[in-house]
C-alpha cells in the first residue's frame, strides 16, 4: 500500500488490480491535495508494470461531490481538475470508477474521464455548477454529450438537476448498477475488466451526434425563462462545442468557464450556497434537542394548515385545533389539498398520503388534546390579546418540558412568554406562507428561551427540510422588519411618481421573484392594514405616511383573495388596477406632490439601499447573528435574487462608501427615514466589508 498526498488518495494493489481510494471527508471534494494525489497515483500506476487495471472509489459516504468550492476565488493551483481528468482518460491501462453517494460536478467529470463506470443504487449524479454560476469546467460539457447525447447533456447541465442511478444507466452515463460495498465492487469490476466481462472505452474518443435543434430549443427556452442569468447560456455554448474534436471543445469550455468565474453572479451564487450552511452555526448548536414526535398546531387557516402539512410530510404526528367543528373541517380540507399537491408533484406516494391522513393527523376543538404533545405551534390571528389567551391556556394543559411556540410574524415573543409560568419553554417559530413549500424558518429566541429549545427549533427545521435562521425579538424579527422598510421605500416611490407596476417591474428585472406590490396583494392587504392600525398610536409625527394602501383597503380590496388590490386578477391575467391609479393621483394632489419619473436604476437603488440600511441596524441591534444570516433570510424567504447573494453580499458589491453617499443624498428629502447606520459609516471609513463579519 502506497500513501500519497497526506493519505487523501491511497493505492491498494492486489496482483494486476490497483484500487485507488479517495478519502477527503466530509464529501471527498476535489481539493488541490486530492487532485495532486490522483495525478500522482496515475503516474505511479502507469509505471507499475504488474498493474493491469485501475479502479477508483470513494471512502465514507460518497464518491466526489465536486470541486472544492472553498478554493473558488483563490489563485488556482496545478494540477487543475481538467488536467486530472485528461490524465485519467489518457491512461493506457483501463481505469474504472465506482460511484456511490454523490458524483456531482467535478466528481461526475472524473467519473466520465474513466473508461467505465459502475453505480451503487443510492447514487446521485448531476452538474450543480450552473446553480453556482459556472459550468462544468473539467470536460463535463464535452464528455456528457459523448455518453448521453446533446439533448440529455443540455438538460442536466443547464438545470443542475440531480438524477439517480437508474436514470444515469438509462442515459448511458453509467454502465452498470451493482449492490455492495464500494471497495468490494471496485475489486470485482476490475476483475471483470481483466476477464473481458466489462468493456472499457475512452469517452473522449466517442463521437457526438450533432443536434442543432436541441441547441436552438435550449437557447430559446433560457432566453424566455432565465434572461437574467449568465451561466446557463454559457452552458449551452459549451455543449454546442462538443461536436468539435475533443481538444477544441475543451478549449472552448475553458474560455467559457473563465467568463463565468469572472462574473459577479458566480460570487453571489456561491455565497448563497454557503449561506444555507452557515446559518446552522449557532451558539446553541451543541445542545441536545428535545424529542419532538407529536406536534399540536393551533389554527387551521392557510398558515396553520401549511405548518401541519410540512410536519406531516416529515413524518411527525399532528393534532390541529380550531375553534369549532366547521373550522376544523376547513383546516382538514386545506391539509388534504396540500398533501394531494405533494402527491401530484411526485413528492409523496398516494398510499403514504392515505396513511398520514388516517394515522398521523387529527383535528380537535379542545386544547386538552395537546396534553401529551411535545411541541405546540400557535398560528392564530395576529393579535396580542388572542395570543396571550392561547398561551395561558396551553400553560395549564401542556406537559412539563413541552415546547410552546408562536408563529407570530411581528409580535413580542417576550410578552407572550410572560403570560406563562414557563417562559424558558417558549420560542418563536416563524414560518413563511405557503409553509409546506417555503424553505425559511425564523427561530425567534426570546430573553428567557432555553438554549436546548433553540437547538430543537433547528433540528425540527432540518427534519422539515427547511433552512432555520436564528433571530432575536423585535418588531418583525429579521425578515419582516426589513420588509417594512422595503415597503415604505416602495410606497414613497409610488407617492413621488412611480406606479406600482413600474416599481414591481424594476424589481423583477433586478431578479426578485415578485415585486413588493404583487407580494402585498398575495399576502393580503388587510394584514398590513391591521398592523398599521395597531402601530398608529405610537407612530412618530415625523414619519412620512403614505395613505394609499389604507384607501385601497377601505374599498374592500385586499389583493388576490378579493380579485383586486394594487392589481386586478382577472381571467385574462394580471393588470394594474385603474382605480388604484386614481387613488394615487388624488393622494399626490392632496399632499401637493408633483409626480416625477424614476428610472429602473433609481428605483432599485433606492429600494436596495433601504433594505441594506435596515439590515445594518438589525446587525447593530444583535437581532441577526451575522450578515450572512440576513442574506439567508432574504434568499430563502423573500425571493431575493439568488445570483445577487442576498442584501449584505449586495451591500459589499455596492460598497459602503457609495451606500453612505446615497443615504445622505436621499435624506435631503426625508431625514427621518434615511439615516446612515453607524456600522455602515464605520465600514465606509475603514474600508471594511460585511463579509469580514461572517466569522
Question: Which residues carry out catalysis?
Answer: 109, 129
404-463 binders of ligand T1G (CB under 6 A): none
Q: Is 69 in the site for ligand T1G (CB under 6 A)?
A: yes
Q: Is 343 in the site for ligand T1G (CB under 6 A)?
A: no
When the beta carbons of 162 and 561 are compared against ligand T1G, the nearer one is 162
C-alpha cell at 82: 481538467
Contacts of 372 (CB under 8 A, 6+ apart): 294, 399
Task: Look at the block and give the residue holding cell 425540527.
Answer: 460
Q: Please tell me the distance from the alpha carbon of residue 607 to that of residue 304, in angstroms, as a whole number.
A: 31
Contacts of 258 (CB under 8 A, 6+ apart): none
Q: Return the SS3 of 363.
A: strand
- Contact assessment for residue 335 and residue 328, using Cβ atoms and an 8 Å cutoff: no
When the beta carbons of 242 and 406 are compared against ligand T1G, the nearer one is 242
Q: Please tell me the distance from the alpha carbon of residue 428 to that of residue 421, in angstroms, as a whole number.
A: 17
Stretch touching ligand T1G by CB under 6 A, among 97-105, 445-453, 510-518, 617-625: 97-105
- Contacting ligand T1G (CB under 6 A), which of 1, 26, 536, 537? 26
- Contacting ligand T1G (CB under 6 A), which of 38, 39, 112, 129? 129
Cα separation values, 555 from 495, 526, 548, Å: 19, 11, 11
- Contact assessment for residue 53 and residue 190, using Cβ atoms and an 8 Å cutoff: yes
Q: Please tell me the distance from the alpha carbon of residue 250 to that of residue 228, in angstroms, as a whole number.
A: 26
- Contact assessment for residue 373 and residue 296, using Cβ atoms and an 8 Å cutoff: yes
Q: Is 232 in the site for ligand T1G (CB under 6 A)?
A: no
CB of 29 to ligand T1G, least distance (A): 4
Q: Which of 457, 485, 483 is nearest to 470 (CA)?
A: 457
- Contacting ligand T1G (CB under 6 A), which of 36, 104, 311, 376? 104
When the beta carbons of 104 and 464 are compared against ligand T1G, the nearer one is 104
- Contacting ligand T1G (CB under 6 A), which of 36, 53, 67, 488? 67
Contacts of 167 (CB under 8 A, 6+ apart): none
Stretch touching ligand T1G by CB under 6 A, among 12-20, 137-145, 460-468, 666-674: 137-145
CB of 135 to ligand T1G, least distance (A): 7
Distance of CA 395 to the CA centre of its chain: 36
DSSP 646: -
C-alpha cell at 238: 459549451
- Contacting ligand T1G (CB under 6 A), which of 58, 94, 105, 645? 105
Neighbours of 481 (CB within 10 A): 21
Q: Is 158 in the site for ligand T1G (CB under 6 A)?
A: no
When the beta carbons of 37 and 299 are compared against ligand T1G, the nearer one is 37
Q: Please tell me the distance from the alpha carbon of residue 691 to that of residue 695, in angstroms, as a whole number.
A: 8
- Contacting ligand T1G (CB under 6 A), which of 97, 114, 138, 608? 138
Contacts of 452 (CB under 8 A, 6+ apart): 284, 287, 288, 289, 290
Stretch touching ligand T1G by CB under 6 A, among 7-15, 125-133, 343-351, 572-580: 125-133
When the beta carbons of 270 and 339 are compared against ligand T1G, the nearer one is 270
Per-residue b or e along 486-506, where b marks 16 or more CB atoms closer than 10 Å to that residue's CB: bbbbbbbbbbbebbbbbbbeb
Stretch touching ligand T1G by CB under 6 A, among 105-113, 169-177, 495-503, 611-619: 105-113
Q: Please tell me the distance from the alpha carbon of residue 49 to that of residue 63, in angstroms, as a whole number.
A: 27
CB of 682 to ligand T1G, least distance (A): 29
Residues near ligand T1G (CB under 6 A), total: 24
When the beta carbons of 29 and 525 are compared against ligand T1G, the nearer one is 29
CB of 244 to ligand T1G, least distance (A): 19
Stretch touching ligand T1G by CB under 6 A, among 100-108, 209-217, 304-312, 420-428: 100-108
When the beta carbons of 235 and 483 are compared against ligand T1G, the nearer one is 235
When the beta carbons of 29 and 297 are compared against ligand T1G, the nearer one is 29
Stretch touching ligand T1G by CB under 6 A, among 101-109, 236-244, 439-447, 599-607: 101-109
Per residue, the 3-state secondary structure of 129-170, as one string, reads HHHHCCCCCCCHHHHHHHHHCHHHHHHHHHHCCEEEHHHHHH
Q: Is 70 in the site for ligand T1G (CB under 6 A)?
A: yes
Q: Please tell me the distance from the alpha carbon of residue 364 to that of residue 694, in angstroms, as a whole number.
A: 45
Q: Is 29 in the site for ligand T1G (CB under 6 A)?
A: yes
Stretch touching ligand T1G by CB under 6 A, among 24-32, 201-209, 611-619, 641-649: 24-32
**Treating both helix axes as pointing N-terminal to C-terminal, what angle do 656-666 and 600-620 enclose, rounded to 10 degrees?**
110
Q: Which of 63, 61, 81 is nearest to 72 (CA)?
A: 81
- Contacting ligand T1G (CB under 6 A), which of 51, 81, 334, 417? 81
Q: Is 134 in the site for ligand T1G (CB under 6 A)?
A: yes
| Partner residues linked to 177 by β-bridges | 119
Q: Is 260 in the site for ligand T1G (CB under 6 A)?
A: no
CB of 36 to ligand T1G, least distance (A): 15
- Contacting ligand T1G (CB under 6 A), which of 106, 306, 641, 647? 106
Task: Look at the block and give the residue holding cell 406516494.
Answer: 349
- Burial degree of 46 (CB within 10 A; 0-12, 13-18, 19+): middle
Q: Is 110 in the site for ligand T1G (CB under 6 A)?
A: no
Q: Is 102 in the site for ligand T1G (CB under 6 A)?
A: yes
When the beta carbons of 279 and 507 are compared against ligand T1G, the nearer one is 279
When the beta carbons of 129 and 491 are compared against ligand T1G, the nearer one is 129
Torsion of CA 494, 499, 504, 510, to 10 degrees: -90
When the beta carbons of 27 and 295 are compared against ligand T1G, the nearer one is 27
C-alpha cell at 465: 427540510
Stretch touching ligand T1G by CB under 6 A, among 8-16, 128-136, 436-444, 589-597: 128-136
DSSP 423: G
Q: Is 109 in the site for ligand T1G (CB under 6 A)?
A: yes
- Contacting ligand T1G (CB under 6 A), which of 136, 296, 304, 645? 136
DSSP 369: G
| Beta strands 573-576 and 567-570, pairing class | antiparallel
x-marked contacts with ligand T1G along 36-65 as a string, rule CB under 6 A = -----------------------------x
x-marked contacts with ligand T1G along 491-510 as a string, rule CB under 6 A = --------------------
Q: Please tell me the distance from the alpha carbon of residue 187 to that of residue 457, in angstroms, as a whole number.
A: 45
- Contact assessment for residue 73 and residue 121, using Cβ atoms and an 8 Å cutoff: no
Residues found near ligand T1G in the complex (CB under 6 A): 26-27, 29, 65-70, 81, 102, 104-106, 109, 128-129, 132, 134, 136-138, 140, 277
Amino acid at each position: 500500500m502506497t500513501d500519497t498526498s497526506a493519505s487523501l488518495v491511497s493505492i491498494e494493489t492486489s496482483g494486476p488490480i490497483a484500487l485507488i481510494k479517495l478519502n477527503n471527508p466530509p464529501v471527498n471534494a476535489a481539493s488541490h491535495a486530492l487532485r495532486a494525489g490522483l495525478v500522482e497515483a496515475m503516474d505511479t500506476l502507469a509505471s507499475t508494470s504488474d498493474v493491469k487495471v485501475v479502479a477508483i472509489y470513494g471512502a465514507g459516504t460518497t464518491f466526489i461531490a465536486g470541486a472544492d468550492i472553498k478554493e473558488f476565488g483563490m489563485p488556482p493551483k496545478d494540477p487543475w481538475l481538467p488536467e486530472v481528468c485528461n490524465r485519467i482518460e489518457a491512461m493506457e491501462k483501463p481505469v474504472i470508477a465506482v460511484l456511490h453517494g454523490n458524483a456531482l460536478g467535478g466528481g461526475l467529470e472524473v467519473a466520465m474521464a474513466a473508461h467505465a463506470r459502475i453505480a451503487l443504487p443510492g447514487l446521485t449524479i448531476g452538474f450543480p455548477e450552473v446553480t453556482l454560476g459556472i459550468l462544468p469546467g473539467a470536460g463535463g460539457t464535452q464528455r456528457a454529450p459523448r455518453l448521453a447525447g446533446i439533448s440529455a447533456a443540455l438538460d442536466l447541465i443547464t438545470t443542475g438537476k440531480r438524477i439517480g442511478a437508474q436514470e444515469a444507466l438509462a442515459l448511458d452515463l453509467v454502465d452498470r448498477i451493482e449492490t455492495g460495498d464500494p471497495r468490494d465492487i471496485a475489486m470485482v469490476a476490475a476483475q471483470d475488466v481483466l476477464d473481458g466481462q466489462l468493456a472499457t472505452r475512452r469517452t473522449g474518443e466517442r463521437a457526438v451526434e450533432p443536434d442543432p435543434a436541441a441547441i436552438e430549443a435550449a437557447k430559446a427556452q433560457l432566453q424566455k425563462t432565465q434572461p437574467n442569468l449568465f451561466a446557463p447560456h454559457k452552458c449551452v455554448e459549451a455543449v454546442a462545442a462538443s461536436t468539435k474534436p475533443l481538444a477544441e471543445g475543451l478549449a472552448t469550455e475553458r474560455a467559457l468557464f473563465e467568463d463565468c468565474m469572472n462574473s459577479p453572479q458566480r460570487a453571489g451564487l456561491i455565497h448563497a450556497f454557503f449561506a444555507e450552511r452557515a446559518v446552522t452555526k449557532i451558539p446553541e448548536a451543541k445542545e441536545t434537542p428535545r424529542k419532538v414526535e407529536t406536534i399540536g398546531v393551533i389554527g387551521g387557516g392557510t398558515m396553520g394548515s401549511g405548518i401541519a402539512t410540512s410536519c406531516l410530510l416529515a413524518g411527525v404526528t399532528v393534532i390541529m385545533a380550531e375553534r369549532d367543528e366547521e373550522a376544523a373541517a376547513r383546516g382538514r380540507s386545506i391539509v388534504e389539498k396540500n398533501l394531494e399537491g405533494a402527491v401530484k408533484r411526485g413528492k409523496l406516494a398516494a398510499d403514504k398520503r392515505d396513511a398520514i391522513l388516517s394515522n398521523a393527523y387529527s383535528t380537535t376543538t379542545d386544547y386538552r388534546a395537546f396534553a401529551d404533545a411535545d411541541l405546540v405551534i400557535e398560528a392564530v390571528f395576529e393579535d396580542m390579546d388572542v395570543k396571550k389567551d392561547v398561551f395561558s391556556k396551553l400553560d395549564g394543559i401542556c406537559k412539563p418540558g413541552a415546547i410552546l411556540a408562536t408563529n407570530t410574524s411581528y409580535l413580542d415573543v417576550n410578552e407572550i412568554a410572560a403570560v406563562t409560568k414557563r417562559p424558558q419553554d417558549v420560542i418563536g417559530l416563524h414560518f413563511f406562507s405557503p409553509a409546506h413549500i417555503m424553505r425559511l424558518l425564523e427561530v425567534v429566541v426570546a430573553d428567557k428561551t432555553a438554549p436546548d429549545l433553540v437547538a430543537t427549533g433547528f433540528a425540527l427545521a432540518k427534519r422539515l427540510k427547511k433552512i432555520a435562521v436564528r433571530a432575536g425579538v423585535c418588531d418583525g424579527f429579521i425578515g419582516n422588519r426589513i420588509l417594512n422598510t422595503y415597503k415604505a421605500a416602495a410606497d414613497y416611490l409610488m407617492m413621488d411618481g412611480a406606479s406600482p407596476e413600474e416599481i414591481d417591474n424594476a424589481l423583477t428585472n433586478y431578479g426578485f421573484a415578485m415585486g413588493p406590490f404583487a407580494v402585498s396583494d398575495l399576502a393580503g392587504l388587510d394584514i398590513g392594514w391591521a398592523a398599521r392600525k395597531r402601530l398608529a398610536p405610537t407612530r412618530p409625527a415625523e414619519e412620512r405616511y403614505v395613505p394609499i394602501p389604507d384607501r385601497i383597503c377601505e374599498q374592500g380590496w385586499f389583493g388576490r383573495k378579493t380579485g383586486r388590490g394594487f392589481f386586478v386578477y382577472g381571467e385574462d391575467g394580471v393588470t394594474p388596477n385603474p382605480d388604484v391609479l386614481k387613488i394615487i393621483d388624488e393622494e399626490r394632489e392632496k399632499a401637493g406632490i408633483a409626480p416625477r419619473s424614476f428610472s429602473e436604476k433609481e428605483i432599485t437603488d433606492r429600494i436596495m439601499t433601504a433594505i441594506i440600511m435596515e439590515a445594518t441596524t438589525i446587525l447593530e441591534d444583535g437581532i441577526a447573528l451575522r450578515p450572512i444570516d440576513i442574506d439567508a433570510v432574504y434568499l430563502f424567504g423573500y425571493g431575493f435574487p439568488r445570483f445577487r447573494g442576498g442584501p449584505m453580499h449586495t451591500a459589499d458589491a455596492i460598497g459602503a462608501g457609495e451606500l453612505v453617499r446615497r443615504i445622505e443624498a436621499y435624506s435631503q428629502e426625508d431625514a427621518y427615514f434615511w439615516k446612515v447606520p453607524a456600522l455602515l459609516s464605520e465600514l465606509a471609513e475603514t474600508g471594511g466589508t460585511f463579509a469580514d463579519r461572517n466569522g
